[in-house]
Structure 1
Amino acid sequence: MYAEERQQAMAQLINAERRVSVARLAEDFSVTTETVRRDLSALERRGLVRRVHGGAVPVDALAPTESGLNERDQHNTDAKEGLAAAAIALLPAPGSTILLDAGSTTARLVAALPHDHQLTVVTHSVPLAARLAGNPNIELVLLPGRVRPTTQAAVGADTVAALAEIRVDMSFVGANGLSVEFGLSTPDRDEAATKRALVAAGRRTVALVDSSKLGLESTHRFARLSDVDVLVTDAGIDAVERSELERHGLEVVVA
């Protein structure tokens, strides 16, 4: 097979499967990983794929647009349910204080909270606060700030300032992308600043990130891997990726 034929076949596979590792491409096309990386670089220059750490994704996988909360809630629902259940097992002891990031996965975590587990919950998410407000075992703290319509969460200087004044037992955060090289990221600058403060406020930080976002990089980094203690993801993570994340100090929990 000529190089151009191989590259075209690689591009077709990546667009069909949405995310393919360098190791998988090397095995499928019987070439070295160095050859695969050269092929991916050539495809990226032609605008056919986007390279990410450890592999490649279609060009539209890293689009700068950000889905609204209601739209995101309909995607990967089974994986998010699993992530929420796994996160419940990580909750600190009754009487502790936790921080909850905005997002469709943390919404499922809230829905799964045990009724007899007393907690103080701090959040910047309006929908999460509305769900928690009637729970007699939850002392709810709603953070101030400007509410972004996209995420229905408070962001900005007031939110960041309020987070700088607190310390919690555990922070639960989501991300639009997570890669070894770039860390955890999100498309919006204000959202990133708020997530950065959420991470800094926690004695331990748990990232809830489904496997479709692993290897992806969004515009604004809010945490390096070293800032996070535990990654909760789903069974879509491959063994090589998991090993590399663990090598960088992350405890990986597969839901």
Structure 2
Amino acid sequence: MSTVDQMQSRGSLIERIAADRPSLSKAFGRIADVLISAPAEFMGRSIQEIAASAGVSEPSVVRFCRHYDFDGVPDFRIALAMSLVAENANPSRPFLEPTIADKAFVNRAMKMAVAREAVQLIDSDRSLILDSGSTIQYFAQHLRAASGRTILTTGLNIIETLWGCRQHTVMLPGGTVRFDARALTGRMVEQSLENMRFDTVYFGADSIDPEHGLSTFNEDEAHQNAAMANASRRLVVLVDSTKFRAPSLHRFCGIERIDTIVTDRNIPADIESSLRDRGVKLLIADHTGEDSIK
């Protein structure tokens, strides 16, 4: 069962864990207390830091997440954030965005297959915008061997991936650093794009829906993504199939603006049909399970 399906079938993870608290083991109870009292700490800290805060071993933190049928801590934290979105989170509780490290780990093989499939689209591009998402970072790895292009990005992770690729002209707009996302954000990003034009923008998304369009966890990111779309002739979206069932939050683009979506073969049939009916081109990556990080 995917992270999204797990979240949808269970509602709020925090509520479930709070209900379970009296029956949990001593170690799991301490971890639950950290999560319930300080969800931001659980979302943003390393496993080592969570274990130290709860006074338990690091394997106990992993076992706690697996107790709720997740593969590990990254999957659990993604589902935690998404469950809070799905329940329209308590207004008194600040929204918690997953870190880029957690996003990159979850569904990694599918994301790598999608990124590899998308490379065929760059032939007509002389200038590109890349967002800061984890799938786009895998896509940027393929650009290391591509001929020279002008590339603008808000992603510090993308800059790191393209470091030393002197054939490219790589541009960063101004902005404020979002450390967990390893990206720039803010009005300065939008101002930088106002008088610029690019061939294609390559987006990831936290959620994609045939009716609602593309959305993301972070409101500032949604504003700058809309500016990126307005500065580009063509819009391409790279998403693994789990994003089609994710709850939406901050919308930044309608489906009618999208030229091509690159995803994997697990895209739900009804959604695939709906997207094709709306004139969206689809590229389907065949994930074999053999992808790996080199």
Give the TM-score of the pair, scaled to structure 1.
Answer: 0.75
Of 75, 98, 107 in structure 2, the residue corresponding to residue 67 of structure 1 is 98
Aligned to 1:234: 264
Q: Per-residue displacement from partner, 1:163-219 (whole Å, max 9, x unpaired)?
A: 122110110011100112211001211010011111111111101111101033321
CA distance in 2, matches of 1:155, 1:127: 14
Aligned: 1:248 with 2:275: no
CA distance in 2, matches of 1:14, 1:235: 14
Aligned to 1:206: 236
What is the Cα deviation at residue 16 of structure 1? Answer: 10
Aligned to 1:105: 135
Aligned to 2:120: 89
Aligned to 1:216: 246
CA distance in 2, matches of 1:116, 1:250: 26
What is the Cα deviation at residue 62 of structure 1? Answer: 4.1
CA distance in 2, matches of 1:150, 1:106: 16
More displaced stretch, 131-140 vs 223-232? 131-140
Cα RMSD of the aligned pairs, angstroms, is: 2.7
Aligned: 1:137 with 2:167: yes
Q: Does the Cα contact within 8 Å between 2:116 and 2:142 map onto a contact in 1? A: yes
Q: Per-residue displacement from partner, 1:141-169 (whole Å, max 9, x unpaired)?
A: 11110111221111110001111221101
Of 199, 216, 224 in structure 2, the residue corresponding to residue 169 of structure 1 is 199
CA distance in 1, matches of 2:200, 2:215: 19
More strand by share: 1
Q: Does the Cα contact within 8 Å between 1:172 and 1:208 map onto a contact in 2? A: yes
CA distance in 1, matches of 2:105, 2:160: 20
CA distance in 2, matches of 1:188, 1:148: 10
Paired residue secondary structure (1:205): strand
Judged with a 3 Å threshold, the aligned counterparts in structure 2 of structure 1 residues 97 and 59 are, in CA distance, closer, same or farther, namely closer
CA distance in 2, matches of 1:196, 1:16: 25
Aligned to 1:53: none
Aligned to 2:29: none
Judged with a 3 Å threshold, the aligned counterparts in structure 2 of structure 1 residues 113 and 16 are, in CA distance, closer, same or farther, namely closer
CA distance in 2, matches of 1:105, 1:99: 14
Paired residue secondary structure (2:129): strand
More helix by share: 2
Question: Match of 1:91, as an amino acid?
Answer: I
Judged with a 3 Å threshold, the aligned counterparts in structure 2 of structure 1 residues 226 and 134 are, in CA distance, closer, same or farther, namely same
Question: Match of 1:77, as an amino acid?
Answer: R
Q: Does the Cα contact within 8 Å between 2:207 and 2:243 map onto a contact in 1? A: yes
Q: Does the Cα contact within 8 Å between 1:179 and 1:217 map onto a contact in 2? A: no
Paired residue secondary structure (2:165): coil
Q: Does the Cα contact within 8 Å between 1:178 and 1:184 map onto a contact in 2? A: yes
CA distance in 2, matches of 1:15, 1:188: 20
When the two structures are aligned, how many residues end up with a matched partner?
A: 210
Paired residue secondary structure (1:252): strand
> What does residue range 171-190 of structure 1 map to in structure 2 within 5 Å?
171-190=201-220
Paired residue secondary structure (1:63): helix
Judged with a 3 Å threshold, the aligned counterparts in structure 2 of structure 1 residues 212 and 141 are, in CA distance, closer, same or farther, namely same
Q: Per-residue displacement from partner, 1:66-114 (whole Å, max 9, x unpaired)?
A: 21001111111110111111111110337x0000000111111111125
Paired residue secondary structure (2:272): helix
